[in-house]
Amino acid sequence: MLLPMLLTLFLLTPFYLLYKPPTLLIRYFQHRWPDTLWHVPLPTSQKLLALTLDDAPSTHTPEIRSLLAANSAKATFFLIGSQIPGREGELHELVRAGHELANHAMRDEPSRSLSDGELEAQVGAVQDRIRAAYSAVGVREPVERWFRPGSGFFSERMRGLLGRLGYRIVLGSVYPHDAQVGWWWVNARHILSMVRPGSIVICHDRREWTVPML
């Protein structure tokens, strides 16, 4: 009886660590890949976190923006370039509201699978759109350039390329897997159970359950 239980525990532990990575694991990642941002070290007295939203813009972005405004909150929106045409006005509204625009490549696909040439082209194309959005409303484009890889995986090759292009890869420390899990209350509980000062929370635009989750 004990052996099957131990085997089950052994098999489930990696999945649990992926779903709810402990603080020590996040700190190890930050130490192992210091040029990639996982969390921001802050004293416990500072009740601050970074809210990020992938897969923007979408038909749900205006509602997300309204919710953030109602709570005096700011976020970083990671943009997929192919979703921008026809939604440039929404990017302008995000910038006017004080939100940050960042780079999530041109398509919803694993960035790690792209060649150097394709990745550089995609990142450059999205950055052109980001630059245009800031320029359109007369706001200076931030000096710091963030890139979040599609599917959340990167390689040493990608790190080198993006570093040379002037980008810093951003992942995070709290991810409710809301891209796959559609139960907003489960995702909200997951976030609340894990946030700490300096947490980087990864959420997703383009889902109908994002607003109730937030």
**Pair of tokens at residue 109:** 């696909």
In a domain, 115, yes or no: yes
**CA 150 – CA 175 distance, rounded (Å):** 14
**Pair of tokens at residue 84:** 């921008």
In a domain, 204, yes or no: yes
Q: How confident is the model over 105-124, as pLDDT tens digits?
A: 999 999 999 999 999 999 99
Tally of domains in the chain: 1
The pLDDT value given to residue 38: 98
In a domain, 77, yes or no: yes
Q: Which domain holds residue 189?
A: 37-213
Q: Is the pLDDT of residue 22 over 60?
A: yes
The pLDDT value given to residue 1: 57
pTM metric for this prediction:
0.93
Which value, in Å, is the radius of gyration of the alpha carbons in the chain? Answer: 18
Pick 5 or 26 by higher pLDDT: 26
In a domain, 4, yes or no: no
Which CATH number characterizes residue 106's domain?
3.20.20.370
In a domain, 15, yes or no: no
Q: Is the pLDDT of residue 85 over 60?
A: yes
In a domain, 187, yes or no: yes
* pLDDT over 90, % of the chain: 90
Q: Is the pLDDT of residue 90 over 50?
A: yes
Cis peptide before 57 (omega within 30 of 0): yes
In a domain, 131, yes or no: yes
Q: Where is 76: in which H helix or E strand? A: strand 76-79
Average pLDDT, the chain: 94
Return contacts of 137-143, CB within 8 angstroms, 24+ apart. 137/92, 137/95, 137/96, 139/95, 139/96, 142/100
Q: Which amino acid is at 121?
A: A
**CA 152 – CA 154 distance, rounded (Å):** 7
Q: Is the pLDDT of residue 146 over 50?
A: yes
In a domain, 32, yes or no: no
**Pair of tokens at residue 2:** 């004990």
Q: Is the pLDDT of residue 8 over 90?
A: no
Q: How confident is the model over 162-200, as pLDDT tens digits?
A: 999 999 999 999 999 999 999 999 999 999 999 999 999
